[in-house]
């Protein structure tokens, strides 16, 4: 499951810390390193578990987004919205299931925008399922694909591949379906305005 954390993210984070040190930005480097170490500690401690509490999963996502926001200054903002009827400490979801979708929203949707972007992560309890909605106002999947083609990037995200395999395993072992819906957002003229991902997880998992 640790493979779901993109190795490029780890490499780029270490490079960013090194850059801050070389620029004598010691305080910023220490802050960056502190957040990075907390994230890695959580991943090492929790990612081998089949499931984690929503509180733990959101902590990992929060550290990841903080680090990316520090690395890409003024590129995007983010917000978590957890419904009041969800007990974050006692409600469990599959470990790191959300992380690759959040990473995709940042890397492929928001960072390619010419203006600041925003990411919204919402969790609700609907019909005994945790429904996680990840919405970005980025450039959209089609535009992102065109950029990747221009850069000759055709590799499949390892994190997404691992996630898809895990979902199949969960469904086979529990006989319950984890639903993933990906919606391309557009304005009235058909221009891309972002992407919405809805992940529906039975609470019994």
3-state secondary structure of 156: coil
In whole angstroms, give the CA distance from residue 75 to residue 3.
26
Q: Give the pLDDT confidence of 78-103 residue by residue, as tens digits.
A: 999 999 999 999 999 998 899 999 99
3-state secondary structure of 36: helix
pTM for the model stands at 0.87
Q: How far is CA 9 from CA 104, 115, 159, in A?
A: 12, 22, 12
Structure letter (DSSP) for residue 25: -
For residues 47 and 65, which has the higher predicted lDDT (pLDDT)?
Answer: 65
Terminal Cα distance for the chain, rounded: 17
111, 72 Cβ separation under 8 angstroms = yes
Contacts of residue 80, defined as CB under 8 A and 6 or more positions apart, other chains included, come to 58, 61, 62, 121, 122, 123
**For domain 2-202, is the CATH number 3.30.565.10?**
yes
Q: Give the pLDDT confidence of 136-193 residue by residue, as tens digits.
A: 999 999 999 888 777 655 545 666 777 888 888 888 877 788 999 999 999 999 999 9
């Amino acid at each position: 499951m640790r493979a779901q954390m993109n190795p490029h993210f780890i490499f780029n984070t270490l490079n960013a810390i090194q850059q801050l040190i070389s620029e004598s930005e010691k305080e910023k480097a220490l802050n960056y390193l502190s957040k990075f170490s907390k994230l890695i500690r959580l991943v090492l401690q929790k990612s081998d578990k089949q499931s984690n509490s929503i509180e733990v999963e959101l902590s990992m996502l929060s550290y990841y987004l903080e680090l990316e926001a520090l690395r890409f200054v003024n590129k995007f903002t983010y917000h978590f919205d957890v419904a009041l009827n969800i007990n974050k400490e006692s409600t469990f979801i599959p470990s790191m299931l959300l992380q690759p979708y959040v990473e995709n929203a940042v890397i492929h949707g928001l960072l390619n925008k010419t203006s600041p972007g925003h990411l919204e992560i919402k969790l609700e309890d609907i019909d005994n399922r945790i429904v996680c909605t990840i919405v970005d106002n980025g450039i959209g999947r089609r535009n992102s694909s065109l950029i990747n083609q221009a850069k000759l990037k055709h590799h499949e995200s390892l994190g997404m591949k691992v996630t898809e395999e895990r979902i199949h395993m969960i469904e086979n072992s529990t006989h319950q379906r984890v639903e993933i819906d990906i919606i391309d957002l557009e304005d009235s003229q058909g221009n891309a305005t972002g992407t919405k991902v809805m992940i529906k997880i039975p609470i019994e998992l």
